[in-house]
Amino acid sequence: EVQLVESGGGLVQPGGSLRLSCAASGFTVSSNYMSWVRQAPGKGLEWVSVIYSGGSTYYADSVKGRFTISRDNSKNTLYLQMNSLRAEDTAVYYCARGVSVDPWGQGTLVTVSS
């Protein structure tokens, strides 16, 4: 069964850092486009970042220079390193596979607040 399980969310102060993880099973992370998409409370979906199978990475302007997407092929896991966090980064963060995104993980909540 194809599955994605995120972890690493939590409460962090403005300016702080967090690293999200997404453990994949049933497929190989490095062979797929893998993305992070977030959803602020009560709001719509916002694409954050993607890593291509070849390793190229791209970011939304709102997180460029602060967030870094990466993967560990040996662990079949996707990561999102988030630095210089702001209140507006508060959201549920989903990891997801593919261009036509399927499946999505269950999401992990990141709350940036003092």
Residues of this chain that interact with another protein (CB under 8 A) are 35, 44-47, 50, 58, 60-61, 94, 99-107
Burial 95-108 (b: 16+ CB within 10 A, else e): bbbeeebebebebb
Rg (CA), the chain: 13
The CB-of-33 to another protein minimum distance in angstroms stands at 9
The CB-of-30 to another protein minimum distance in angstroms stands at 20
Whichever of 74 and 102 has its CB closer to another protein, that residue is 102
Identify any residues that bridge with 51 across adjacent strands, giving them in sequence order.
Answer: 34, 57
Residue type at position 60 = A
Question: For residue 98, what are its two tokens?
Answer: 């593919």
The CB-of-4 to another protein minimum distance in angstroms stands at 9
Whichever of 16 and 23 has its CB closer to another protein, that residue is 23
